[in-house]
Structure 1
Amino acid sequence: MSAKPKVWIARKLSDATLERAARDYDAIINMDDGLSSADEIVAMSAKVDAIIPCHSEHFTEDVANRLDPRLKIIANHSVGVDHCNLPALKARGIAVTNTPDVLSDATAEIAMLLMLGAARHAVKGDHLVRSGQWDFWSPSFMVGKQVTGARLGIIGMGRVGQAFARKARGFDMEIHYYNRSRLDPGSEAGATFHETIESLLAVSDFLSLHCPATPETTGLMNAERLAQLPAGAILINTARGALVDEAALLEALADGHLAAAGLDCFVKEPGGNPAFAEHQNIFMLPHIGSATTRTRDAMGFRALDNLDAFFRGDTPKDLL
């Protein structure tokens, strides 16, 4: 019987995922769950046939060029692959997969949480009660922005964008979207398609980002585009931090053009932007959009499914 393929699991994944990996592969598991440097990734590539990384492991062009020929596949435990230089990895003959489909609802739930929290002063309200400073009430106290019936703009109407739209319809929101291509009528479900981002911005009381980070979308929401949102609009980002010009966002919040923001991702991760902490109208979470037990199990199993197919000699379902 041939030896099992050797796999490095670069972060501590769900218990169910690790149990399956240990059963089916010769698995090296980073139980310490710490970040690995570029040199550590390169060194590990000489010891394994496959790597299951998260978005926290960066396969830059330099790293890709230094990977050992033994490494044959990178089965990402993520949907986004902006941490991977795909052309450089392809040139080395290394297969790359991701985990689409399985985290759409969990991420859409976080987008809904951020939208509601940003609209209704969740940060300020929690602080007042928790700190014992809540000693006042009036009809003008903590008045926020109503979500029900508002116009929601979505940039990126893929799996997560559509899942968010379905949930937003429960609040009777009017759905507008921009996408690289228009959806079929059944998938649109009554949403209004906009051929340009600028057209979408003009009608977005709330704007939610659900597109990947690419060279074309980096800094997508810059000062010019933020200014095109209606006064008092709220920005939600559960996609990638690179989509937002953070300095421009701070300025738009400081001058009152934007009422609030809800952010689950940042240009610098981990850590975020320290300047955001000064603003109680920014509701923040530490990039936990897919962090439910069910979704983490599904992501891990999807990555392993891709490995199983690859080592059987089949084309992985999620080959990029």
Structure 2
Amino acid sequence: MKPTVYICRQMPEDVVAPLRDQYEVRMWESASEAVPRDVLMKEAASADALWTVISDQIDEEILDAAAELKLIVNMAVGYNNIDVKAANARGIIVTNTPDVLTETTADLAFALLMATARDLIGAENTLREGRWTSWEPLGFTGTDVYGATLGIVGMGRIGEAVMRRAKGFDMDVLYHNRSRKSEMEDMYGCRYAELSDLLASSDFVLILVPFNEETKGMIGEKELAQMKESGILINVARGGIVDEDALFDALRTKKIHAAGLDVFETEPVPLDHPLLTLPNLTVLPHIGSATVKTRKAMMKRNVEALQAFARGEEPNHQVQG
């Protein structure tokens, strides 16, 4: 008998078709709505493999119900939606999709930085709502990006890609990372800084660290207080890295100038979330990797892992808890 894969979102048929020779394919009916928890529990109970996305929470309860499960492929680089340690303890392989979304996510990070700096969404809404009545000497004025100081918290592949873009805007780039990258400093002229120094010196602070127990809540009240009053915070990593209550207070009281978020602690973000009431916040619905080319490349990574597993081979891009 073929092994069974349950796909937690509706994927394009041209992507799924290559799996049908090797797997009994079952798939959730919607691409835009999350598979309900009870359905996921039921499907996981008889699946040999799961194909998940970042909003599918695979915890011990799901894993305990999934007696036959041997593989989870996650359509993301980050995998904080999966209890990888618990999965590995049960002999379940977990894979992700590295390398294929670096440049796309860097594009989005820089686009969100610029949109927040110039309040492009607020300006557009003013026009669309008929509130633009005349040119004003100081109307719609924002913050300069060219020549500003950018502080990157987390200098991995995406951080390096953003830095290359920032250099095109003649930005002075500081970075904070678990380890220094001297060769990169020599190549690009960026400078390592302790987190407190980076926060105090940067006009823009970009969060790019992975989400884990060490980084959870790492940008809180104390860290936001260390930023310039004119400072702008950008987060395209994971929502739980920034304390949202502290950020709301910092934006409301103008302790920092503005923020741009592509990620939230709870996603989709509730419409009554206090942050959404603030005019100095630019928000996006977690679209860092959202181009057709990149999303198809991520799907291909997942399909390759599933195909390798069905052939009895070790899938690439395994992650460990």
Identify the TM-score tier after normalising by the shorter chain.
over 0.9
Q: What is the deviation of 1:245?
A: 0.9
Q: What is the deviation of 1:17?
A: 2.1
Kindly indicate whether residue 303 of structure 2 is the aligned counterpart of residue 319 of structure 1: no
User: What amino acid sits opposite 1:284 in the alignment?
Assistant: V
Aligned residues of 1:8 and 1:27 also touching (Cα < 8 A): yes
Aligned residues of 1:65 and 1:92 also touching (Cα < 8 A): no
SS of aligned partner of 1:175: strand
- Scaled by the length of structure 2, the TM-score of the pair is 0.93
Q: What is the deviation of 1:274?
A: 2.3
Aligned residues of 2:107 and 2:162 also touching (Cα < 8 A): yes
Within 2, Cα distance between the matches of 1:208 and 1:162?
12
* Match of residue 238 from structure 1: 236
User: What amino acid sits opposite 1:270 in the alignment?
Assistant: P
| Structure 2 unmatched runs, 5+ | none
- Cα-Cα RMSD: 1.8
**CA 1:16/1:180 → structure 2, altered by over 3 Å: closer, same or farther?**
farther
Aligned residues of 1:54 and 1:76 also touching (Cα < 8 A): yes
Q: What is the deviation of 1:130?
A: 0.3
Which region of structure 1 is more displaced relative to structure 2, 125-134 or 40-49?
40-49
| Structure 1 unmatched runs, 5+ | none
* Match of residue 280 from structure 2: 281
User: What amino acid sits opposite 1:309 in the alignment?
Assistant: A
* Match of residue 61 from structure 1: 60
- Scaled by the length of structure 1, the TM-score of the pair is 0.93
Spell out, residue by residue over 1:209-266, the C-alpha distance to the aligned partner (whole angstroms, 9 max, x if none): 1111111111111010001112210000111110111111111112222111111111
1:1-150 alignment runs, 5 A limit:
3-22=1-20, 24-33=22-31, 34-68=33-67, 70-150=68-148
**CA 1:163/1:24 → structure 2, altered by over 3 Å: closer, same or farther?**
farther
Which region of structure 1 is more displaced relative to structure 2, 16-25 or 81-90?
16-25
Aligned residues of 2:22 and 2:310 also touching (Cα < 8 A): no
* Match of residue 249 from structure 1: 247
Q: What is the deviation of 1:184?
A: 4.6
Within 2, Cα distance between the matches of 1:14 and 1:177?
39
Within 1, Cα distance between the matches of 2:5 and 2:231?
46
Within 1, Cα distance between the matches of 2:21 and 2:128?
46
Which region of structure 1 is more displaced relative to structure 2, 13-22 or 78-87?
13-22
* Match of residue 224 from structure 2: 226
Within 2, Cα distance between the matches of 1:149 and 1:313?
53
User: What amino acid sits opposite 1:76 in the alignment?
Assistant: N
Q: What is the deviation of 1:50?
A: 0.8
SS of aligned partner of 1:17: helix
Within 1, Cα distance between the matches of 2:153 and 2:135?
38
**CA 1:178/1:186 → structure 2, altered by over 3 Å: closer, same or farther?**
closer
Within 2, Cα distance between the matches of 1:120 and 1:22?
48
Which region of structure 1 is more displaced relative to structure 2, 266-275 or 77-86?
266-275
Kindly indicate whether residue 300 of structure 2 is the aligned counterpart of residue 293 of structure 1: no
SS of aligned partner of 2:201: coil
Identical amino acids, percent of aligned pairs: 39
Aligned residues of 2:28 and 2:35 also touching (Cα < 8 A): no
Within 2, Cα distance between the matches of 1:21 and 1:101?
23
Within 1, Cα distance between the matches of 2:64 and 2:102?
33
Kindly indicate whether residue 151 of structure 2 is the aligned counterpart of residue 164 of structure 1: no
**CA 1:23/1:111 → structure 2, altered by over 3 Å: closer, same or farther?**
farther
Within 1, Cα distance between the matches of 2:289 and 2:202?
25
* Match of residue 310 from structure 1: 309
Aligned residues of 1:123 and 1:280 also touching (Cα < 8 A): no
Aligned residues of 1:65 and 1:88 also touching (Cα < 8 A): no
SS of aligned partner of 1:41: helix
User: Once superposed, which parts of structure 1, at least 4 consecutive aligned residues long, lie more than 6 Å away?
Assistant: none
Aligned residues: 316
Kindly indicate whether residue 158 of structure 2 is the aligned counterpart of residue 155 of structure 1: no
Within 2, Cα distance between the matches of 1:233 and 1:308?
47
